[in-house]
Amino acid sequence: MASRDRIVGGADVGEASADGRRGQPVVRGDGYEMNQIDQGQSPPAARAVELTKMYGSGGAVVRAVDGVTVEFARERFTAVMGPSGSGKSTLMHCIAGLDTPTSGRAFIGDREIGRLDDAGLTDLRRDRIGFVFQSFNLVPTLTAAENITLPCDLAGRKVDRAWFEQLVAQLGVADRLSHRPSELSGGQQQRIACARALISRPELIFADEPTGSLDSRASAEVLAFLRSAVSDHGQSIVMVTHEPRAAAYADRVVFLTDGALVGELLSPTADTVLEQMRKLGS
């Protein structure tokens, strides 16, 4: 496995360093795959090419995502920022194979979502992607421990016990494992959901407003954990959020307005994110 630079506080991470490892410029658009194959490079964790998603028909059409081309680097924490209704969740769902784009393409690693059949999509979502949602989405009838190991159990894979122990210790939920979700606080439920997303070490974790239902202390705990999953364990994370303070944990922030990509920021702070949001008039 390639050595990983340890990222401290999101500093010193830029477009150049994200791809500089490979020592080659990134060619966007349709030439990208050929370029990668020629160079023997690994593709980004996920990407979208001219992705558009429209809802409705006739005069009531909503362009939720409007021709977005974007890449999400491996072993990096990327935030997708934008006001409510700007298309953040729709973009994430299309890339993760939870929704179907109207046009354009989406990839997880080298796999094109649109070329997978239902079984392929199910496998991809189960084996290569982890999800963290605002509403936790834990299974109410299972204990916390059973919720964490669910992805492994569904896939018929052995649970890496050392990794399980490490996750629950780091998340501070070791003494809550026999409880059901209804017996846990929101912060504890979201930490269980984070452990579930990481247990099978997926290629990429999508988090959609993971702190949207949490108070500031529980939010900080979840965000610090996601940060450490990238910095210390080489995870790749894409987090949708509308909170500048949450986005500041990322290495890179991309901004969406009215379904279109309108800017990006490297090594963000809450202040620079806020400033960028103001400039974009959102």
Report the interface residues with ligand ADP, using CB under 6 A.
55-56, 62, 64, 82, 84-90
Question: Given the complex with ligand ADP, which of 90 and 219 has the nearer CB atom?
Answer: 90
Spatial strand order of the sheet with 111-112 comes to 62-72, 46-55, 103-108, 111-112
Residue range at the interface with Mg ion (CB under 5 A); choices 14-22, 42-50, 86-94, 218-226: 86-94
Question: Given the complex with ligand ADP, which of 18 and 70 has the nearer CB atom?
Answer: 70
Question: Given the complex with ligand ADP, which of 98 and 121 has the nearer CB atom?
Answer: 98
Residue 84 touches which of Mg ion, ligand ADP, none (Cβ within 5-8 Å per kind): ligand ADP
211 interacts with Mg ion by CB under 5 A:
no
Distance CA 132, CA 196 (A): 9
89 interacts with Mg ion by CB under 5 A:
yes
Specify the pairing of strand 237-241 against strand 204-208.
parallel
Distance CA 268, CA 169 (A): 29
**Least distance CB 281 / ligand ADP (angstroms):** 16
Residue 55 touches which of Mg ion, ligand ADP, none (Cβ within 5-8 Å per kind): ligand ADP
**Least distance CB 89 / ligand ADP (angstroms):** 3
Distance CA 78, CA 162 (A): 27
**Residue 48 burial by Cβ neighbours in a 10 Å radius (0-12, 13-18, 19+):** buried
CA-closest candidate to residue 216, choices 157, 137, 270, 149: 270
**Least distance CB 113 / ligand ADP (angstroms):** 17
Question: Given the complex with ligand ADP, which of 26 and 280 has the nearer CB atom?
Answer: 280
Q: What is the CB neighbour count within 10 angstroms for residue 12?
A: 12
DSSP-derived 3-state class of residue 97: coil
Q: What residues pair up with 107 in beta bridges, in sequence order?
A: 47, 112
Residue 151 touches which of Mg ion, ligand ADP, none (Cβ within 5-8 Å per kind): none
**Least distance CB 153 / ligand ADP (angstroms):** 30
Residue 143 touches which of ligand ADP, Mg ion, none (Cβ within 5-8 Å per kind): none
Q: What is the crossing angle of helices 144-155 and 186-198, to 10°?
A: 20
* Residues contacting Mg ion: total by CB under 5 A: 1
